[in-house]
């Protein structure tokens, strides 16, 4: 990688100890949840807006790559500084302010999502986006990849709750997109352009989030099915009844088997290893009670077995299988390609057949779980990193998966973004004209290409990069 020594020394002269070139600090910022490591030349931990402005102004003039970082929990390599340069660490920018009267929250980019949930719920409000990594991921990262979570099908994803953004252009100029109002129609909607852009168009420092009333009642039901196709047919039947569950989580038989082996518990007595769907209704007490009867009638007609939670303690016990399944998959291999594809509801059964064929052709375990309310499924291609034959089969399998999903009318990513890991598949999703238009936007806002370069549009084969043999906090959760 090229050296940016003179620029780094200039920045150190301006910001002092807020800029470090210490090897351990740089290494800690060299990778994200994808475990793809690229050592930056320096890590910048700004204290003020002026620090950020100065960092970007010097970087833009000197053409130093800048990768903005929060918790580093991205699974695609979008937080890895693939071109070196500087890491702009905003994890310390974590202030949360709740406007309980207006139903808004002003949050800095480094605020942990679970902390946002706790702060707004203490005031009787609800912020629905809830990625599985919410205990450590930051709102800035959620905005960067337009994260969703289990509540996405009913309530929407991050973009649906961001009212305004504050931050900086690559030049170091401060900007605000939108305002702390629930209506705003004054100029181009560059706010939404930044959301999901993976930090390639600007640096987000603060967001204003829309909140909704905290649901007064919840009800949880666990259902079991003979096979995956039966589960998919059943959920389409449920949505045909115009039932909109707050959460609708699917685990195929392989994910269930992993979770049962991990916990030592059988989800349903006499039905070990069958696919399951976890449903949760939320709303007013009367809404939940009325819809519960409809769902129970559906369950009697469409499921192999069902079990409802009598209280929140029992509901948490039912959710244990969902929380344990991802980490439990490492019993099938020490590495996985975790793909967050999206499938249209009309193609659910076709996708179940496609996935069975993919397992047979790859000869690899591919446990799958995800959010059936919006079709966002997490397909986990498991392999052993030291087995060359296995990771070559994994490479072929993920390519077939992405091509197959797009042919079914789906998407190669629903919430993880593109980063480095999904760059080979952009051509499946987008035509040359579409990619050209995106690159035109990138060049217009970041003509020197300093913000998070090497991502999204530059081909990177993740399986050819040597993996870090370390355990990260989110590996087995």
One domain for residues 265 and 205: no
pLDDT tens-digit map of 108-130:
999 999 999 999 999 999 999 99
Q: Helix 285-302 and helix 228-240: axis angle, to 10°? A: 140
The lowest-confidence range among 145-149, 180-184, 195-199, 324-328 is 324-328
Q: With respect to residue 464, please indicate whether it lies within any of the assigned structural domains.
A: no
In this structure, what CATH number is given to the domain that contains residue 318?
3.30.70.2190
Q: What percentage of the chain has pLDDT greater than the value 90?
A: 84
Q: With respect to residue 430, please indicate whether it lies within any of the assigned structural domains.
A: yes
Give me the pLDDT at residue 267, please.
77
- Among residues 314, 329, 344, the one where a domain terminates is 329
Does the structure show a pLDDT above 90 at 385? no
- Coil vs helix vs strand at 339: strand
One domain for residues 348 and 394: yes
One domain for residues 81 and 110: no
Does the structure show a pLDDT above 50 at 205? yes
One domain for residues 118 and 198: yes
Top pLDDT among 228 and 317 is at: 228
Show the domain range for 79: 5-89
pLDDT tens-digit map of 25-74:
999 999 999 889 999 999 999 999 999 999 999 999 999 999 999 999 99
Give me the pLDDT at residue 475, please.
40
Overall domain count for the chain: 4
Q: With respect to residue 468, please indicate whether it lies within any of the assigned structural domains.
A: no
**What's the predicted TM-score (pTM) here?**
0.93
In this structure, what CATH number is given to the domain that contains residue 191?
3.30.465.10
Q: With respect to residue 440, please indicate whether it lies within any of the assigned structural domains.
A: yes
Q: With respect to residue 470, please indicate whether it lies within any of the assigned structural domains.
A: no
**Integer Cα distance of 205 and 106 in angstroms:** 11
Q: With respect to residue 41, please indicate whether it lies within any of the assigned structural domains.
A: yes
Instruction: Categorize the per-residue pLDDT at 465 as very low, low, confident or very high, splitting at 50, 70 and 90.
Output: low
One domain for residues 207 and 105: yes
One domain for residues 130 and 199: yes
Give me the pLDDT at residue 35, please.
87
**Integer Cα distance of 355 and 349 in angstroms:** 10
**Integer Cα distance of 311 and 219 in angstroms:** 8
Phi then psi for 176, rounded to 5 degrees?
-130, 130
One domain for residues 170 and 76: no
CA torsion, ordered 462, 464, 469, 474, to nearest 10 deg: 10
One domain for residues 341 and 323: no
Q: With respect to residue 204, please indicate whether it lies within any of the assigned structural domains.
A: yes
Q: With respect to residue 397, please indicate whether it lies within any of the assigned structural domains.
A: yes
- Among residues 52, 68, 89, the one where a domain terminates is 89
One domain for residues 237 and 286: yes
pLDDT tens-digit map of 403-413:
999 999 999 99
């Amino acid at each position: 990688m090229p050296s940016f020594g003179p620029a780094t020394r200039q920045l150190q002269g301006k910001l002092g100890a807020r800029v470090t070139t210490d090897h351990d600090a740089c290494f800690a910022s060299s990778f994200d949840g994808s475990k793809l490591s690229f050592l930056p030349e320096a890590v910048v931990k700004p204290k003020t807006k002026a620090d950020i402005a100065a960092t970007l102004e010097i970087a833009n003039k000197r053409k130093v790559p800048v990768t903005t970082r929060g918790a580093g929990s991205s699974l695609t390599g979008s937080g890895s500084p693939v071109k070196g340069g500087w890491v702009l660490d905003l994890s310390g920018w974590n202030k949360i302010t709740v406007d309980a009267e207006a139903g808004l929250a002003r949050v800095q980019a480094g605020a942990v999502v679970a902390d946002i949930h706790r702060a707004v719920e203490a005031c009787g409000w609800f912020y629905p986006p809830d990625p599985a990594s919410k205990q450590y991921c930051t709102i800035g990262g959620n905005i960067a990849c337009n994260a969703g979570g289990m509540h996405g099908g009913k309530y929407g994803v991050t973009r649906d709750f961001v009212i305004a953004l504050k931050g900086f252009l690559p030049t170091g100029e401060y900007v605000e997109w939108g305002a702390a109002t629930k209506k705003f129609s004054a100029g181009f909607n560059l706010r939404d352009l930044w959301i999901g852009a993976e930090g390639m168009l600007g640096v987000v420092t603060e967001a204003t989030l829309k909140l909704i009333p905290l649901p007064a009642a919840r009800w949880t039901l666990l259902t079991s099915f003979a096979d995956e196709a039966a589960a998919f047919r059943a959920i389409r039947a449920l949505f045909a009844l115009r039932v909109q569950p707050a959460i609708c989580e699917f685990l195929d038989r392989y994910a269930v088997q992993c979770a049962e082996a991990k916990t030592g518990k059988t989800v349903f007595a006499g039905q070990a290893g069958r696919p399951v769907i976890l449903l949760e209704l939320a709303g007013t007490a009367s809404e939940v009670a009325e819809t519960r009867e409809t769902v129970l009638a559906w369950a009697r007609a469409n499921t192999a077995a069902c079990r409802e939670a009598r209280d929140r303690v029992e509901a948490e016990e039912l959710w244990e299988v969902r929380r344990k399944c991802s980490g439990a998959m490492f019993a099938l291999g020490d590495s996985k390609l975790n793909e967050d594809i999206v499938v249209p509801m009309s193609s659910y059964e076709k996708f179940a057949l496609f996935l069975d064929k993919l397992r047979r052709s790859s000869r690899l375990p591919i446990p799958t779980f995800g959010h059936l309310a919006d079709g966002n499924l997490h397909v986990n291609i498991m392999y052993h990193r030291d087995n060359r034959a296995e990771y070559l089969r994994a490479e072929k399998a993920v390519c077939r998966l992405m091509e197959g999903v797009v042919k079914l009318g789906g998407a190669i990513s629903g919430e993880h973004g593109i980063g480095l890991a999904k760059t080979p598949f952009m051509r499946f999703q987008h035509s040359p004209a579409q990619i050209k238009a995106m690159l035109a936007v990138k060049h217009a806002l970041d003509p020197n290409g300093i913000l998070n370069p090497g991502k999204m549009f530059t081909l990177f084969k993740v399986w050819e990069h040597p993996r870090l043999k370390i355990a990260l906090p989110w590996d087995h959760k």
